[in-house]
Amino acid sequence: MAHITLNQYLQQALEAIENRDGSFCAELLSFKHPHVANPRLQLPSPEEKCQQLLEPPYDEMVAAHLRCTFAVSNHDFVEAYRCQTVVVQSFLKAFQAHKEENWALPMMFAVALDLRIFANNAEQQLQKKGKGKVGDMLEKAADQLMACFRVCASDNRAGIEDSKKWGMLFLINQLFKIYFKISKLHLCKPLIRAIDSSNLKDEYSIAQRVTYKYYVGRKAMFDSDFKPAEEYLSFAFQHCHRSCQKNKRMILIYLLPVKMLLGHMPTLLLLKKYDLMQFADVTRAVSEGNLLLLNEALAKHETFFIRCGIFLILEKLKVITYRNLFKKVYQLLKTYQLPLDAFLVALKMMQVEDVDIDEVQCILANLIYMGHIKGYISHQHQKLVVSKQNPFPPLSTVS
């Protein structure tokens, strides 16, 4: 591949297409493949040669791909992105014309992935020069991927083996990556609905399913649906390939706050293994009911938590921490009628600013409302009266 001529390359492409060898053709179009570094193929105007050997729209598709390798060799990612949009457009024309066959799916995966990556690179390049609106190119790339998605989703005629529906989850994952990046999570909804109602949902490859669950898990977390979030992220974490430590770590970053909100604390061993010791003090603080330590831990690693987009979720752990602190007061005083003042003592020990009995009542009322405490406030006696049965229900039963 390193030394072949343009003619040889085009011959291989022609054969691949004629033989419906989607996988090999995909390699000939993919930037993961070494042919893109071959200077004989990096051409600014290969149209004529392509037209001589290939039928439309493949001639246009391959020509645009070669122009793309030329642009990339010049580090011009904006031009590369433009070329790639032509590649995808031409591919889609061919793909739509394939009736009841899906041999070209590997090609679609290759060109779709490169489209998103070039959109990323192009935006970065423009931003360095102070030009270009953030998200512009990614949004346009998303539009093109949606066009591909529609072709796949609407394939109702072919039998399962030949269905283009096998392409849906891969595209959804690419779209998720874009929507998360440009913070347009609401656009994920119709895609999630499409997969949920698909009979292929559990048949896609494990790689695609793990990626999918990672993103829907994050979305559920963002929507405060913590139980589903736990389910999705746990699946992703459990089934992620063991050699993809980076991905495992990323899943864990979002699984941790969700698990903690549901009352499950990570072991130190887990945090050490995945280099997430930033959560160590948070975990300890929450499980102890130590509000002071929690505030310190959040402040200490604020930058990290904000960058990961979990700072606000971690703030919700304050509620759990109040619950744990007050539960300790109950356990220490060993009575069902707890003076409000005792909670005030606890909060003052935690250096909570400007706290008074009114504030205590407010916090207690909230905890009762949320189901974290079973009881009521007796204003006459200035006491919290708790249920004799299970006054502090387990966290996993609450949310």
Give the number of other CB atoms < 10 A from CB of residue 312.
11
- Residue 284 CB, nearest distance to another protein (Å)? 9
| Residues numbered 14-53 forming contacts with another protein, rule: CB under 8 A | 15, 19, 21-24, 27, 31-34, 36-38
Torsions phi, psi for 392 (to 5 deg): -120, 80
Report the chain's C-alpha Rg in angstroms.
28
Is residue 266 a contact residue for another protein (CB under 8 A)? yes
Q: Which tokens sit at 173?
A: 């994952």
For another protein, the closer of residues 197 and 331 by Cβ is: 331
Give the number of other CB atoms < 10 A from CB of residue 193.
10
Residue the block writes with tokens 């009841």: 100
Tell me if residue 41 falls in helix, strand or coil.
coil
Of 156, 197, 199, 267, the residue at the interface with another protein (CB under 8 A) is 267
For another protein, the closer of residues 90 and 211 by Cβ is: 211
For another protein, the closer of residues 90 and 324 by Cβ is: 324
What DSSP assignment string belongs to 334-372?
A: T-SEEEHHHHHHHHHHTT-TT--HHHHHHHHHHHHHTTS
| Residues numbered 84-123 forming contacts with another protein, rule: CB under 8 A | 102-103, 105-106, 109, 113-114, 117, 120-121
Of 199, 269, 353, 379, the residue at the interface with another protein (CB under 8 A) is 269
Q: Which stretch binds another protein (CB under 8 A): 72-80, 84-92, 296-304, 369-377?
A: 72-80
Give the number of other CB atoms < 10 A from CB of residue 227.
12
| Residues numbered 361-390 forming contacts with another protein, rule: CB under 8 A | none
- Residue 143 CB, nearest distance to another protein (Å)? 20
- Residue 48 CB, nearest distance to another protein (Å)? 26
Which residues, 6+ apart, have CB-to-CB distance to 47 below 8 Å?
59, 60, 63
Tell me if residue 295 falls in helix, strand or coil.
helix
- Closest among 144, 162, 148, 18 to 99, alpha carbons compared: 162
CA distance 120 to 174: 12
Q: Mask of contacts with another protein, 121-140, x by CB under 8 A?
A: x-------------------
CA distance 254 to 229: 9
CA distance 193 to 100: 24
- Closest among 34, 41, 11, 12 to 25, alpha carbons compared: 12
Number of residues that bind another protein (CB under 8 A): 89
| Residues numbered 236-265 forming contacts with another protein, rule: CB under 8 A | 237-244, 246-248, 250, 259, 263-265
Q: Which stretch binds another protein (CB under 8 A): 141-149, 185-193, 285-293, 362-370?
A: 285-293
| Residues numbered 319-348 forming contacts with another protein, rule: CB under 8 A | 324-325, 328-329, 331-334, 341-342, 345-346
Query: What are the residues facing 375 on neighbouring strands?
Result: 386
Q: Which tokens sit at 146?
A: 């949606």
Give the number of other CB atoms < 10 A from CB of residue 204.
21
- Residue 321 CB, nearest distance to another protein (Å)? 11
- Residue 342 CB, nearest distance to another protein (Å)? 6
For another protein, the closer of residues 51 and 265 by Cβ is: 265
Of 210, 298, 313, 386, the residue at the interface with another protein (CB under 8 A) is 210
| Residues numbered 151-190 forming contacts with another protein, rule: CB under 8 A | 160-163, 166, 170, 177, 181
Instruction: Please tell me what DSSP assigns to residue 185.
Output: G
- Residue 377 CB, nearest distance to another protein (Å)? 19
For another protein, the closer of residues 48 and 156 by Cβ is: 156
